[in-house]
Structure 1
Amino acid sequence: MEISVGFDNLKYLEEQTKFILERAKQYGNKLYLEFGGKLMFDMHAARVLPGYDPNVKMKLLQQLKDKLDIIICIHAGDIERRKIRADFGISYDQATLKLIDDLRDWGLEICGVVITRYESHPSVIQFKRVLELNNIPVYVHQTIHGYPTNVDHIVSEEGYGANPFIETNKPIVVVSGPGPGSGKMATCLSQVYHEHKRGIKAGYAKFETFPIWNLPLKHPVNIAYEAATADLGDYNEIDPFHLATHKITAVNYNRDVAAFPVLKKILFKIMGDGNMYQSPTDMGVNRAGFAIVDNIAVQKAAKEEIIRRYFSYHSEYAAGRTPKSTTDRINLIMEEVGVSPTDRVIVQPARKAAEKAKKRGKGHSGIFSGAAILLSDGTIVTGKNSPLMHAPSAVIINAIKIIAKIPKKIYLLSPNIMESIGELKESLGKSANVSLNLEETMIALSISAITNPTAKVALDHLKELKNCEMHLTHIPSFGDEAGLRTLGVRLTSDPVYAGKNLFLF
């Protein structure tokens, strides 16, 4: 199945680079740029804008390398609560360390890390110490009393003035973080305050890919952003300030619109007439909308993403990780766009595979589950659980056999080897479930590849499963989820557990 390309990365890089440089010039070549979203691996953008390079923002920074410094922010509360970045399954503090490593891999160094709304919790102190022991400058910003409404206090020596100033040398300073709520905007404004106190007429701008301001309010790509933030309660709206001032319809989101009057007061108190923004849209520098080359393709992809979010939130609700208000919100979004869960073409095949397992009575401990994956050529492959394998393991093995053109009757893994691994798990007390999860299956396959040439061929084709769509009839176990994340498949699951166990081994 050929996927239509809906986004032109080269055009985007050209537009975006030019626009950021122009904005920096407007502020005398000292611009603090709040970088929203993910610097790397922006998989949401890649899913809703087919053809979008998930690392294109890093390529943008590389193009501007000689003109920019980078500051990373992280909220102390996110460290203490061990907030998780879902796409990697790691905490925000670990995601910050990974981001620093990733930037270095791209030849980009940071000026330092700011721990915002600092509290001296043991985990926060430990994180700070790790950075300092690795010669990374760490700055601490305390909570500012009355933030964000008490403008007179905020823009004073007791407010922003109490924060340490971070020395930067380049005309553009990118301020990023591991996720939303990291304190990026406050850090930017604190720096702008200090710069003006030193006689430098620095400015502030915001880089945020979504919502795309020059697409219609109800465009599926913008609605997909609402779906992605359904747990936060965000929604898009027409920017009333932009419409009133410029007579141009632009899309923004509720928090930016609501915060703009106060933000404008803060900027005016710092910069006086030097602040040129009349709307939250004015603050932005995003040019993604100008790089969309196939509107039909991106609309289709965005609707698919909304369905993925539907399954994701319902599974999180079943696991107790999100409130019912989130599922109510995503249900309304589904109705608004006019899509249903079974519009995802692999949902029904996965459910039929589970039914087939149940009819044949070939599950494990009375558990019957199914999986389906959509290959890049449009082939749908199914798998079901058995006493030897979890359903994800079965469908991945079946899929790579088809991709590698290996006959179905040929074993990639000997049943004797799988039984031996299962017996080892049971004897060590690791799990009562001796059936192999996907992570264990991939390890077994890599070991088999040493002596089995056919297994080696299959192993070499695993990378071709990246970005394939997949559905499970149950919430995946830890081992299955880890294996699927490694493969890079786009997973959804029905919001039910595979059995009665509450711990997903």
Structure 2
Amino acid sequence: MKTGFDSEKYLSEQSQAILERAGKFDDKLYLEFGGKLLCDFHAARVLPGFDPDTKIKLLQRMKDKIDIVICIYAGDIEQKKMRADFGLAYDTDTMRTIDDLRDWGLDVKAVVVTRYQEQPAVKGFINKLSRRGIRVYTHHPIEGYPTDLDTIVSPQGYGANDYIETDRPIVVVTGPGANSGKMATCLSQVYHEFQRGVKAGYAKFETFPVWNLPLKHPVNIAYEAATADLGDINMVDSFHLEAYNETVINYNRDLEIFPVVKRICARIMPPEQLYKSPTDMGVNRVGFAITDDKVCCQASTQEIIRRYFQYMCAHALGNADKIAADRVKLLMDDLGITEFDRKVVAPARAAAEEAEQQPGKGSGNVFCGAALELPDGTIVTGKNSPLLHAASSCILNAIKVLAKLPDDLYLLSPQVIDSVSQLKKKIYKNKGLSLDLGETLTALSVSVPNNPAAQLAMKKLSRLAGCEMHISHLPTPGDELALRRLGIRITSEPCFTSRNLFME
């Protein structure tokens, strides 16, 4: 797999830029971290060579100078909002982030629940963290936010928020997703600091859009596709253009809120600390670490197609309006690409058609196909059967190819498959008896001691990380979870495998 990005160069330049920004404020810098703090797979997908853990490595380099604060919007806890790449609710992801940071030798100073309104589900989250020794603060909605400056910048506004105790000169403020309240938390802290005589500053660390790439660059369009559900639109930063006569790229939400942020800051800070544009607020060196623009453009177009399928599936499941998919379709049209530019789409559909033509299939059966692209470009397919899901067949076929095993060799004996099927039928009372991918991999692992071929194939599973895969139907929970854990980049058609409303 070709690379187009130098993570080490980015790490060096970004850490230096943050320290330089912090040096412009004598006492304290509140740094809003946009995007994913850990496991930034979007960046890794559109910038091949980007280390998904680059941000955490950056913090590790500066750990003696930083405190970390995590913001989470109370409404996201109440509504069980999910992080799409991990399939985790935001509250669960917050706890996972705390654990992961500890594994990297970094402690979270505090968690802030923003726009808190005493919701029972949110109280449970606060209690859970508090009883495990995590300091939790709450910020309540401010009436008239963000336009009523007299209220916002007053003891009844920011002054009514809990002040978060921190010790180090740089405070990283992050969250599980967009609209977590990171900016408001930073500005609230800056207000409190000035009330205490501390000349604090504020800055943003966001990877996308990349300010020094063209507006219609595929990397920036991929960001627009990733946030189509939020309605984000990339735009030329008109404030920056006016102030410096330089064309740079930002996005609509930052441009819309900048006049408000500037007016709020003007009530708190001296004039010399005020930014002239939203791009000025940012600290972002990612564009300077791109080493092969063509590779990044190709990777970004693939990400745009992935997002299209993702939104189509979310709409089919009732989790999103179709407007997000329509927005991405327009972006695809602008770039002149279609879903068939994703190499695994046509083979997956063909595998489903092939399954339908097999003899002995009843008209009530659902015919499913899957296709996976191996690191060398080889396409491997799989079909569903009474024994295995399409994803299961495809993965078994893929690791047989990687292990150079004969295509007609069975990695799982019929007896093992039948044992699992009987467990599902007699004990679990499942309707579907064929093995999903999670069950298949478990069966494969227990076959290893007595099956040298299974042992050889099992060792190849790690090579599937980063591979592209498409399925002709919505994956079951067991398939989807296993594919995520393998690190496979999965898309699927917005089609159900049966008329049943409950997916086992």
Partner of 2:94: 96
2:496 & 2:360 partners in 1: Cα distance? 18
Aligned to 1:414: 413
> 1:111 is paired with a residue of what secondary structure?
strand
Task: Say whether residues 1:381 and 2:385 are aligned partners.
Answer: no
Work out whether residues 313 and 327 of structure 1, in 8 Å CA contact, stay in contact via their aligned partners in 2. Answer: yes
Cα displacement (A) at 1:423: 2.2
Deviations 1:431-484 (A, max 9, x none): 211111101101111111132222122112111101100000001011111111
The one of 162, 172, 175 aligned to 1:164? 162
| Aligned residue identity for 1:273 | P
Match of 1:266 in 2: 264
- Counterpart residue number, 1:134: 132
Aligned: 1:322 with 2:320: yes
Task: State the 1:501 CA deviation.
Answer: 1.9
Query: What SS does the aligned partner of 2:357 have?
Result: helix
| Corresponding residue of 2:503 | 504
Amino-acid identity (%): 57
Query: C-alpha deviations, 1:399-429, integer Å up to 9, x for none?
Result: 0011111222222111122122112211225
Q: Distance in 1 between matches of 2:164 and 2:493?
A: 48
SS in 2 for 1:13: helix
The aligned residue for residue 423 of structure 1 is: 422
SS in 1 for 2:270: helix
Deviation at 1:373, TM superposition (A): 0.3
> Hey, what's the Cα distance between the residues in 1 that align with 2:369 and 2:309?
16
1:233 alignment partner AA? G
User: Under a length normalisation based on structure 2, what TM-score does the superposition of the two structures give?
Assistant: 0.98
TM-align CA RMSD: 1.1
Instruction: Decide whether the 8 Å contact of 1:166 with 1:191 is kept in 2.
Output: yes
Q: 1:276 aligns with which of 266, 274, 277?
A: 274
Match in the other structure for 1:469 = 468
Equivalent position SS for 1:485: helix
Distance 2:175 2:81 in 1: 13
Which secondary structure does the structure 2 equivalent of 1:450 belong to? helix
CA gap of 1:363–1:282, structure 2 versus 1, over 3 A, is farther
> 2 CA distance for matches of 1:486 and 1:69?
31
**Deviation by residue 1:192-224 (Cα, 9 ceiling, x = unmatched):** 011111111100000110000000000000011
2:403 alignment partner in structure 1? 404
Find the partner of 1:243 among 241, 245, 254.
241
- Give, as a single letter, the amino acid of the residue that structure 1 aligns with 2:6: D
Q: Distance in 2 between matches of 1:436 and 1:363?
A: 18
CA distance in 1, matches of 2:494, 2:152: 45
**For residue 346 of structure 2, what is the amino acid of its counterpart?**
Q
Residue number among 48, 51, 72 corresponding to 1:50 in the alignment:
48
Please say if residues 363 and 386 of structure 1, whose CA atoms lie closer than 8 Å, have aligned partners that are also in contact: no
The equivalent residue for 1:308 is: 306
Larger mean CA deviation between 355-364 and 488-497 belongs to: 355-364
8 Å Cα contact 1:362-1:387 kept in structure 2: no
Looking at structure 1, the residues matched to 29 and 428 of structure 2 have their Cα atoms a distance apart, in angstroms, of 58
Check if 1:393 corresponds to 2:392.
Answer: yes
Indicate the residue corresponding to 1:371 in structure 2.
Answer: 370
Distance 1:11 1:208 in 2: 17
Instruction: State the Cα deviation string for residues 57-104 of structure 1 (Å, max 9, x = none).
Output: 000000111111111111111111111111111110000000000110
Which ranges of structure 1 fall in alignment gaps of 5 or more residues?
none
5+ residue gaps in structure 2?
none
Q: 1:458 maps to which residue?
A: 457
Partner SS, residue 49 of structure 2: coil
Q: Deviations over 1:357-412 (max 9, x none)?
A: 11114668511110000000111100000010000000000000111112222221
Asked if the contact 2:265–2:274 (Cα under 8 Å) also holds between the matched residues in 1, the reply is no
Residues 305, 338 of structure 2: 8 Å contact kept: yes
Contact 1:310 1:331 in 2 (8 A): yes
Q: Deviations over 1:206-256 (max 9, x none)?
A: 011000000000000001111001111110000000000011101000010
Q: Aligned runs of 1:73-88 on 2, under 5 Å? A: 73-88=71-86
Residue identity opposite 1:295 in structure 2: D
Counterpart of 2:126, as a letter, is K
* Alpha-carbon separation, structure 1, partners of 2:391 and 2:173: 39
Query: Which TM-score applies when normalising by structure 1?
Result: 0.98
Whether the aligned pair in 2 keeps the contact of 1:354 and 1:371 (CA below 8 Å) is yes
Work out whether residues 262 and 274 of structure 2, in 8 Å CA contact, stay in contact via their aligned partners in 1.
no
How big is the shift at 1:29?
A: 4.3
Residue correspondences, number: 503
Structure 1 residue aligned with 2:433: 434
Letter paired with 1:370? G
